[in-house]
Amino acid sequence: MALPRGAGRGAAAAAERGWYLSAREEDEDADEDAESAPLLPGSVRHPPDRGSSFGFSVFNLMNAIMGSGILGLSYAMANTGIMGFSILLLIVAGLASYSVFLLLSMCTQTAVTSYEDLGLFAFGSPGKVLVATTIIIQNIGAMSSYLLIVKSELPGAVAGFLSGDSESGFSSRSWYLDGRLLLLITSVCVVFPLALLPKIGFLGYTSSLSFFFMVYFTLVIIIKKWSIPCPLPLSSGVENLQISNITGECKAKLFRLSKESAYAIPTMAFSFLCHTSVLPIYCELQSPSKSRMQNVTVTGIGLSFLIYFVSALFGYLTFYDKVGSELLQGYSRYLPHDTVIMTVKLAILFAVILTVPLIHFPARKAVLMVFFSHLPVSWICHIFITLTLNTIVVLFAMYVPDIKNVFGVVGSTTSTCLLFVYPGLFYLKLSREDLISPQKLGACALVIFGICVGLLSLILIIFNWINQ
């Protein structure tokens, strides 16, 4: 999961706010030229050999989009049906692309390069604090979902290398197969030291590997669809297959509605959230313009949609209604010693462990912005914030029983705000168009959709918890 690399400073944004407000009064027609204008006022375009190419910018955006959400989309399809899932995923992807368009429109007007500073321009300091707080909660949820994968998959990976039978009795009692203990060791020995680094450095390059791991994961899901029989074995392991007689388990449903369907849209919103990375990627684009960056966005989200849909479809067609909320768990159960599955586990674990420290950087920046903006930057503050964030994330990962809960709660709250609500609100506040213009009506619809879907999903999820 890639993250913003060029966030703007609050002081600079506040200074530029005065320029922006005066410019609005001087030139009411500035928007007409924004399509081809450089990002920053008075700045000179990079020559053609400077900045990121179109293809590399698409890759960066896809790297920002693709993350742990891919493991929960098959579960979403199982609870909405193939057609229901396809329609919902297409709606979320389309609205995500449209909300990026609104952010780019605000970017060309305000000349800022961070999501937080757009909140400052729109609603002053309270807006900036609100956006920063939302990003903190979102990133804590993202890090928790990654470490949940470590807790659930690392014991099986260790068992696969150390024992011929990962389900044996002595293995389940071994300390090195305790998921919580392995999670704690990994966090203390790997995640925390890497998160303490003052600069992202090599983590930016290693996190790019996570994108290729997601593609590899998708290819393996397609191939392994024919390695697991249906109906599913009652006993795990390919060497002792006891086939169920319930042939109805092997029928895919086109539409389905259940209490678990409440997790579908939040999981999709969680999976497509890349909006905190869009503006920095825009700044690094060759010959940056709103139309060129919008093409990058449509291409990146479109390709991500394809990978998400294919992985969800073949994951669902492998396990049908028995698909788990974390897809890899099904393969661990029915193909525990498969070499290819083991390589996928290792690839995902490697990507997760190296990406979690990367997510600490914007989370720590947002914490500094909200709570410690009046203090000078120091190593003591740096270490304290990193340790606090790491502790919170580890506790969540240890005691949250299911990854779908992270996708559901974070997706229905912070993800819907960053994906739908905030871009629409900022556009309504900052745009000089008439209230009945198509773009403002679209922004208003985006806000209403985000609020309604987020609240409805959260209420249904809480209702499910109460009735469990």
Instruction: Provide the pLDDT for residue 15.
Output: 39
Q: Looking at 51-60, 258-267, 270-279, which range is the least confident one?
A: 51-60
For residue 367, is pLDDT > 70? yes
Q: Looking at 82-96, 194-208, 212-226, 291-305, which range is the least confident one?
A: 194-208
Report, at the CATH architecture level, how domain 10-15+51-466 is classified.
Answer: Up-down Bundle (1.20)
Average pLDDT of the residues in 227-247:
57
The CA–CA distances, whole Å, from 456 to 48, 72, 119, 370, 405 equal 48, 20, 25, 29, 15
Each residue's pLDDT tens digit, 267-288: 999 999 988 888 888 888 888 7
Residue 145, C-beta contacts closer than 8 angstroms, at least 6 positions apart: 67, 68, 69, 270, 403, 406, 407, 410
Structure-token pair, residue 191: 């995640």
Q: Looking at 109-113, 183-187, 247-251, 384-388, which range is the least confident one?
A: 247-251
Residue 212, C-beta contacts closer than 8 angstroms, at least 6 positions apart: none
Q: Give the closest residue to 36 by CA, choosing from 377, 294, 312, 340.
A: 294
Each residue's pLDDT tens digit, 34-44: 333 444 433 43
Concatenating the DSSP letter of every residue in 274-317 gives: -HHHHHHHHHHBSS--HHHHHHHHHHHHHHHHHHHHHHHHHHHH
Instruction: Provide the pLDDT for residue 170.
Output: 44
User: How far apart (Å, rounded) are the C-alpha atoms in residues 2 and 66?
Assistant: 8
User: How far apart (Å, rounded) are the C-alpha atoms in residues 316 and 320?
Assistant: 5
Structure-token pair, residue 37: 């204008």
For residue 422, is pLDDT > 90? yes
Residue keyed to tokens 């997706």: 411
Instruction: Provide the pLDDT for residue 109.
Output: 81
What one-letter code names the amino acid at 193?
P
Instruction: Provide the pLDDT for residue 281.
Output: 85
CB 257 within 8 A of CB 80: yes
| Segment (H or E) for 91 | helix 82-110
**Angle ∠(165,218,64) on CA atoms, nearest 5:** 115
User: How far apart (Å, rounded) are the C-alpha atoms in residues 440 and 100?
Assistant: 14
Q: How confident is the model at residue 18 (pLDDT cuts 50, 70, 90)?
A: very low
SS3 233: strand
Which residue would you say has higher pLDDT here, 277 or 151? Answer: 151
3-state helix, strand, coil in the chain (%, to 5): 75, 0, 25
Which residue would you say has higher pLDDT here, 246 or 383? Answer: 383
Angle of the 264-272 helix axis to the 82-110 helix axis, nearest 10: 40
Which residue would you say has higher pLDDT here, 183 or 374? Answer: 183
- The domain segmentation of the chain, as residue ranges, is 10-15+51-466
Concatenating the DSSP letter of every residue in 378-436 gives: -HHHHHHHHHHHHHHHHHHHHH---HHHHHHHHIIIIIHIIIIIHHHHHHHHH--S-TT
User: How far apart (Å, rounded) are the C-alpha atoms in residues 151 and 241?
Assistant: 28
Average pLDDT of the residues in 233-249:
50
Which residue would you say has higher pLDDT here, 41 or 92? Answer: 92
Which residue would you say has higher pLDDT here, 206 or 342? Answer: 342
User: How far apart (Å, rounded) are the C-alpha atoms in residues 428 and 431?
Assistant: 6
Each residue's pLDDT tens digit, 309-330: 999 999 999 998 888 888 888 8
Q: Looking at 203-212, 231-240, 419-428, 431-440, which range is the least confident one?
A: 231-240
Q: Give the closest residue to 148 by CA, choosing from 431, 458, 401.
A: 401
For residue 153, is pLDDT > 90? no
For residue 347, is pLDDT > 70? yes
- How many other CB atoms sit within 10 Å of the CB of residue 198? 9
What's the residue count for the chain? 468
Instruction: Provide the pLDDT for residue 313.
Output: 95
Q: Is 429 left (phi over 0), alpha (psi -120 to 50) or beta?
A: alpha
Instruction: Provide the pLDDT for residue 275.
Output: 86
CB 278 within 8 A of CB 418: no
Count Cα atoms within 13 angstroms, Cβ side, for 167.
9
Each residue's pLDDT tens digit, 162-208: 765 444 444 456 777 788 899 999 999 999 998 888 776 656 666 67
Instruction: Provide the pLDDT for residue 334.
Output: 85
Instruction: Provide the pLDDT for residue 205.
Output: 63
Mean of pLDDT over the chain? 80
